[in-house]
Structure 1
Amino acid sequence: MKQIITKWNSINLVNRIIIGIVIGVILAVAAPSSASGVSMLGALFVSALKSVAPILVFFLVINAIAGQKIGKKTNMKSIVMLYGIATVLAGFVAVVASFMFPTTLMLKEAAQDVAPPSGIGEVFETLLFNIVSNPVSSLMNGNYIGILAWAIVLGLALKQASPSTKEGLANISNAISTVVQWVISLAPFGIMGLVFDAIATNGLSALKGYGQLILVLVGSMLVIALVVNPLLVFIYTRKNPYPLVLISLKESGMTAFFTRSSAANIPINMKLCEKLGLDEDTYSVSIPLGATINMAGAAVTISVLTLAAAHTLGVEVDLATAVILAVVSAVSAAGASGVAGGSLLLIPVACSLFGISVDVAMQVVAIGFIIGVVQDSCETALNSSSDVVFTAAAEQAKNRKSK
């Protein structure tokens, strides 16, 4: 048995995940009702990721800030700027794609048991209150904005701590990272369960009716990943951006696509940054920060689904309103992790720009949940891989200027 486990673990994680997907599809088609235990594997995997990811972010950020050498300069300003610019540009790309390929929806029923924000003001209010939320409550509820805020404050407070205290923090941080890697190593079995459950419950036909919508969403995200992000990297570094972009998509984006959690993908990104030879004082902060605020994929989701609702209802969208939508989507996306339900529940906020009622907007949210198996996976892959891309780009730009 030990030899089998060793042989299995020696296979590349992505290849193991592909094997899990294939088995999940076969079981769902061949025996959809007789393998209910398989779907439980998916639920257990998601639950494990949700449990450990908030603790990981909390201790990683505390350790990174507390352990920084006093007086040492990092590239955080450039990285945060890149995060913001990329998210705004993502909103614009999504708006342009929606005008080029207008999509209409079949509105039937609304999402149940979810309450969207009433406007952009409420989004900001929720964001502010999440920042000062009780740290224990933030950890329990997966409020990453609150987790990040408390981790930064505690990290700054612990900068003057004794070396033994800092060493203890580093040990805890490393231990939690190891636990997350253990959980991610079980991804093939969890994803097998998720794929089985999705196909056995809904069938592949559940996604066919939303084919064009999925294509616009995924197409927009691909344009950002393969055109917009490389262009930003080239402007900053004056180097061919594609080696960096492609290795980030391969080693970070692929695992994020299947785990669907930017926070859980942090150890993967940290390893990749180490492999790329980046400054640990920078990426130990920028990667957890990016998992919380670098949300280009969310901006795409909000913009595309909002304009799909507008096209369905025959609402005329002028250029000025479209520009405002792109900006609102970007701002809302940055606060998505602080709102229960993530980017989908911010769609009604954007819909209000066009006078679309909450009832109709919630039907669009329901469609978002249906296509979430594709949308959320692509969104997470884009968000997480971009964290590495921009962290590396900022360091390459700094090295170029210092020569």
Structure 2
Amino acid sequence: MMTPLYAAYKKVPLVLQIVIGLVIGTLLALFCPEQTSFIKGFGDLFVKALKSVAPLLVLVLVTSAIAAHQKEGSSQLWKLMIIYFVSTFLAAVTAVGASFLFPVSVTLTGTAGEGAAVAGSISAVLYNIVINAVDNPVNALINANYISILVWAAALGYMFRNAKESTKAVLEDLASVVTAIVRIVIRLAPLGVMGLVYNSIVSQGGIDGLLGYASLIYVLVAVMAISALVINPAIVFIITRKNPFPLVFKCLAESAYYAFFTRSSAANIPVNMALCDRMKVPRSMSSISIPLGATVNMAGAAITISVLTLSAVASLNGGVLNIDIWTAILLCFMASLCACGAGGIAGGSLMLIPLACSLFWIGNDVAMQMVAVGMIIGVIQDSCETALNSSSDALFTIALSQKNLPPEGAGNAAS
């Protein structure tokens, strides 16, 4: 009896299933708030499954891809890295500009985030990146240290380039198996979204609990929309010299939507890989650029860090931003650099806010309150941030790949 039921379940598009889960979670939170432990468990299970498989996925995908990668494709990856940083920096500039035009202040009371790890300076962040890069590989997998995972994957992949073809085939099979496991986890997204939305609403005392931060949410979402619909298309146009919007909307529809609900760039890697396959992107490129983008292409994180930091400044100065242009530019660079270390997991950018706040001599107690604010609005902020980050990974990879196709090939890929 389960076979026909499961077959009918698979016929329903995953996007529609996620929407249904979102609606059910909202209704349960409004009418059955006392069932917290049971319904919340679905969300916790889903997040735990994502966090457990994502580090392994990045390790095997990058290792396998570099092992099979041809030297002539290396220049493309360097170009993509430059594109990733430029888009992240422009997103930070836009966020700072929007914060000056529409300064947002929030009520700061009490303390928050006791015991959280906070970086004290930009040099401390660089030091931690170097130290984390040489972490024990087993420990890196356990703690989802993506910087170390990327380093080990790159080292292993480079050494495997001289291995036998049969060994490389085993690596490819392993990557395919882990990818298939992630697809199974993603099929649980409707139940996971139901639990996550339920817990977010109940923990804030209802939908009204989220409305107090509406102005902050408006600025964040508006800047992310500008990044997705103005900055990214402009970059794609410069790359391809063609109308960028068909490709932009395709990536938003087929990548951003899933990332919005999973809230994990790393967990959205299989979705982006499948999209790149349909758009005729060579696996030798996408299997490296997509996992790499899930770690370092963080325009949404740069926006979050910039807006929440300047919101803290405004909150302490009666709603006024009294900082000079050079400090604002420094914040853009700092936010861009810090965003690269945010990691492809839910809420990864929030713990870097205290570092940016230190630029304005804002104490740790106030900075951690802004982290708490970020957690409160995370149901919207983090979802939009991840959607922007992850869809940009696929967008820039496809755009750079299409640039090198013959005219008729590029036309077919864009159709």
Quote the offset at 1:114 in angstroms: 0.7
Quote the offset at 1:38 in angstroms: 1.5
1:345 aligns with 2:351: yes
**Matching residue within 353, 364, 371 for 2:377:** 371
Quote the offset at 1:340 in angstroms: 11
Letter in 1 for 2:140: S
- State the partner residue of 2:272: 269
- State the partner residue of 1:150: 152
Within 2, Cα distance between the matches of 1:364 and 1:92? Answer: 20
Which 10-residue stretch deviates more, 32-41 or 261-270?
Answer: 32-41
Within 2, Cα distance between the matches of 1:299 and 1:390? Answer: 18
- State the partner residue of 1:135: 137
- State the partner residue of 1:47: 48
Within 2, Cα distance between the matches of 1:238 and 1:338? Answer: 30
Within 2, Cα distance between the matches of 1:319 and 1:293? Answer: 26
Quote the offset at 1:35 in angstroms: 6.0
- State the partner residue of 2:177: 175
- State the partner residue of 2:395: 389
Q: Secondary structure at the match of 2:161?
A: helix
Within 1, Cα distance between the matches of 2:101 and 2:300? Answer: 19
Within 1, Cα distance between the matches of 2:144 and 2:118? Answer: 18
- State the partner residue of 1:191: 193
- 2:346 and 2:382 in contact (8 A); partners too: no
Which 10-residue stretch deviates more, 19-28 or 294-303?
Answer: 19-28
5 Å matches for 1:255-334?
Answer: 255-314=258-317, 316-334=322-340
- State the partner residue of 1:163: 165
Within 2, Cα distance between the matches of 1:142 and 1:222? Answer: 29
Quote the offset at 1:70 in angstroms: 5.2
Question: Cα deviation per residue 1:228-280 (whole Å; 9 max; x = unaligned)?
Answer: 00001001111010111111111110101100111110000000000111111
User: Where does the alignment leave 5 or more consecutive residues of structure 2 unmatched?
Assistant: 411-415
**Matching residue within 239, 243, 259 for 2:242:** 239
- 2:264 and 2:345 in contact (8 A); partners too: no
5 Å matches for 1:67-82?
Answer: 67-69=68-70, 71=72, 75-82=76-83
- 1:130 and 1:338 in contact (8 A); partners too: no
Quote the offset at 1:110 in angstroms: 1.7
Within 1, Cα distance between the matches of 2:98 and 2:77? Answer: 31
- 2:21 and 2:193 in contact (8 A); partners too: yes
Q: Secondary structure at the match of 1:160?
A: coil
Quote the offset at 1:334 in angstroms: 0.8
Letter in 1 for 2:380: V
- 1:74 and 1:281 in contact (8 A); partners too: no
Q: Secondary structure at the match of 1:342?
A: coil
Quote the offset at 1:338 in angstroms: 9.4
Quote the offset at 1:115 in angstroms: 2.1
The 1:53/1:339 distance shift into structure 2, 3 A limit, reads closer
Question: Cα deviation per residue 1:13-51 (whole Å; 9 max; x = unaligned)?
Answer: 111000111111111112111463121011000000000
Quote the offset at 1:348 in angstroms: 1.3
Quote the offset at 1:86 in angstroms: 0.3
1:200 aligns with 2:206: no
Within 2, Cα distance between the matches of 1:239 and 1:160? Answer: 40
- 1:348 and 1:362 in contact (8 A); partners too: yes
Letter in 1 for 2:21: G
Within 2, Cα distance between the matches of 1:72 and 1:222? Answer: 32
Which 10-residue stretch deviates more, 171-180 or 35-44?
Answer: 35-44
Within 2, Cα distance between the matches of 1:384 and 1:15? Answer: 20
User: Where does the alignment leave 5 or more consecutive residues of structure 1 unmatched?
Assistant: none
1:86 aligns with 2:87: yes
Within 2, Cα distance between the matches of 1:230 and 1:400? Answer: 21
Question: C-alpha root-mean-square deviation of aligned residues, in Å?
Answer: 1.8
- 1:252 and 1:381 in contact (8 A); partners too: yes
Question: Cα deviation per residue 1:112-163 (whole Å; 9 max; x = unaligned)?
Answer: 3312100111111111111111111100000011101100010000001111
Within 1, Cα distance between the matches of 2:154 and 2:174? Answer: 17
Which 10-residue stretch deviates more, 69-78 or 234-243?
Answer: 69-78
Within 1, Cα distance between the matches of 2:151 and 2:36? Answer: 43
Quote the offset at 1:339 in angstroms: 11
- 2:224 and 2:303 in contact (8 A); partners too: yes
- 2:259 and 2:390 in contact (8 A); partners too: yes
Q: Secondary structure at the match of 2:260?
A: helix
- State the partner residue of 2:65: 64
TM-score by length of 1: 0.96
Letter in 2 for 1:194: L
- 1:126 and 1:338 in contact (8 A); partners too: no
Within 1, Cα distance between the matches of 2:23 and 2:313? Answer: 38
The 1:20/1:33 distance shift into structure 2, 3 A limit, reads same
- State the partner residue of 1:102: 103
Letter in 2 for 1:304: V
